[in-house]
Amino acid sequence: MSRRFQTGSIEKSGKWMVVRFWKDVAGQENRIHACERICPVSGPDRLNNTEIQRKAHEIITAAGVNDPQQFIETTVGVTFREQAKEFLRQKTMSKRRPIKPATLCSWQNCVDKWLNPNLGDSPLSNVNNATMKGLVAKMHAAGLSAKTIINYTGLVKLIVASAKSEEGEPLFPRKWDSEFIDLPIVRNQRQPKFTAETMSAIVQNTTGQYRVLYALLGGSGLRIGEALGLEIGKHISNSGSALHIRQSVWEGMTQKPKTPSAVRDVDLCPDLAAIVNAHIAGRTSGFLFRNAVGKPLAKSNVLRRDLHPILAALNVPKAGFHSFRRFRATHLVKSLVSESLKKFWMGHAATNQTEEYVKLFDESDYRKEVADRIGLGFEVLPETPSIVRNVRRKSVQVKEKIAA
């Protein structure tokens, strides 16, 4: 925008001193030549040279020709669709905060399904509170949850804010008004959590590596991607009593953990360590949980083929892997585990300066003592699977329950 900065041309035109400059016109690519009067050439209203220059500057400033914001908004400019594409490209290539593939996939789905169909052809300069209000009304009418609406509108804000000048200044600064937009308030968000009884029943009613996986998720609080990313010989201590979280798995690919705080060591109680060691059974390499060809398990397959059928047979509402994580977090609180250690094991960031000072990576003896004291929080019963699964169909269903 600096190359378009104008001071104007001051000259005499008839009986008037005038300033001439170029002016942008909405909807037109080419500018027009503008001329504004400053003062009479002679007479009592005549200004001196300094005053003429000051008045000329005021006229040009009032016209907005040197304002990047007004220049962009008076031209057709980039569309929301184009900026959304550029935003996702920037985030993919960012060295400061590169987004994870899962986040990119989620954002792309949001852009394709909701944002581009409703905002894609609009000039980015027109995406404002009124535009957002209309989008929110459409999403609400379609039955989207309050949390989803907030997430989608948040992405719109990020895309608009990503348009910047060559100097790094926002081209379209916005003061978003949630009241005017009528953003919903998230209330009673569904966050299922397994009870200790449900945890015991889930582990009891499955076999093999699924049994170990569920026990590990409930007894450690790992994210599912972190559990599927565990490799023998790399991320499990020799005794099996500690897990070194250094990677996770998404769509069969290994990647860095979710956040810097997710890089941590998670200590296991003796009962859980024994289960993990029995599952390893002398192996020295490979993924802890793997399919027939040695690749990490696909979480969608585990849900469809095993966990959801088990929950259905137990008359437990359908839930995902985060329910194990919520169970563990609740157990840590009930066991009076310190806030710093709880966040460390769960992979959550510190929220105050004192927590930043607490360094638990080197306190393995203390962590192990606490892990042994609080235990699993549920009972590991002998394997007595009472559910027969039909894994031959694409959509796996529970066929029948067999009496134990």
Quick: pLDDT tens for 39-53. Answer: 999 988 888 877 888
CA–CA gap between residue 371 and residue 304 (Å, rounded): 32
Confidence of residue 25 (pLDDT cuts 50, 70, 90): low
Residue scoring higher pLDDT (44 or 155): 155
Nearest to 364 by CA among 333, 387, 341, 384: 341
Predicted confidence at residue 353, as pLDDT, reads 87
- For 28, counting Cβ atoms within 10 Å of its Cβ (0-12 exposed, 13-18 middle, 19+ buried), the class is exposed
pLDDT of residue 134: 94
The sign of the CA dihedral 126, 128, 132, 133 is negative
Output the six-digit token pair for 65.
Answer: 């020709």
pLDDT of residue 270: 95
Q: Write down the pLDDT at residue 5.
A: 58
Taking the C-alpha atoms of residue 297 and residue 402, their distance in angstroms, rounded to an integer, is: 27
Tens-place pLDDT, residues 319-358: 999 999 999 999 999 999 999 999 999 999 988 888 888 8
| pLDDT score recorded for residue 291 | 94
What is residue 26's predicted lDDT score, i.e. its pLDDT?
58
Which pLDDT score is estimated for 401?
40
Task: Check: CB of residue 115 under 8 Å from CB of residue 155.
Answer: yes
Q: Residue 376 and residue 194: Cα distance in Å, rounded?
A: 13
With the CA atoms of 233, 237, 238 and 241 taken in that order, what torsion angle do they form, in degrees rounded to the nearest 10?
Answer: -140
Say what the pLDDT of residue 344 is. 95
Q: How confident is the model at residue 175 (pLDDT cuts 50, 70, 90)?
A: very high
In the chain, the domains with their CATH numbers are 2-73 (no CATH), 80-181 (1.10.150), 196-401 (1.10.443.10)
pLDDT tens-digit series, residues 74-85: 444 688 999 999
Band the pLDDT of 136: cuts 50, 70, 90: very high
Per-residue pLDDT at 386: 67
Largest separation between any pair of C-alpha atoms in the chain: 109
- 203 against 74, higher pLDDT: 203
pLDDT higher than threshold 90 for residue 227:
yes
308-344 b/e (C-beta count within 10 Å ≥ 16 → b) = bbbbebbebeebebebbbbbbbbbbeeeebebbbbbb
Q: How far is CA 63 from CA 7, 23, 67, 245, 294, in A?
A: 12, 8, 9, 59, 68
- Report the alpha-carbon distance of residue 127 to residue 118 in Å, rounded: 11
CA distance 385 to 403: 9
Query: What's the confidence (pLDDT) of residue 259?
Result: 87
- Across residues 264-288, what is the average pLDDT? 94
Cβ-based burial of 350 (10 A; exposed 0-12, middle 13-18, buried ≥19): middle
Q: How far apart are CA 74 and CA 28, in angstroms?
A: 8
Q: In the prediction, which pLDDT does 29 show?
A: 55
Alpha carbon separation from 45 to 36, 54, 287 (Å, rounded): 16, 15, 87
User: pLDDT at position 58, please?
Assistant: 85
pLDDT for 388 beyond 80: no
Residue 264, classified by CB atoms within 10 Å of its CB into exposed (0-12), middle (13-18) or buried (19+), is buried
Average pLDDT, the chain: 86
In the chain, pLDDT over 70 holds for what percent of residues?
88
pLDDT for the residue 389:
56
**Residue 391 pLDDT level (bands cut at 50, 70, 90):** very low
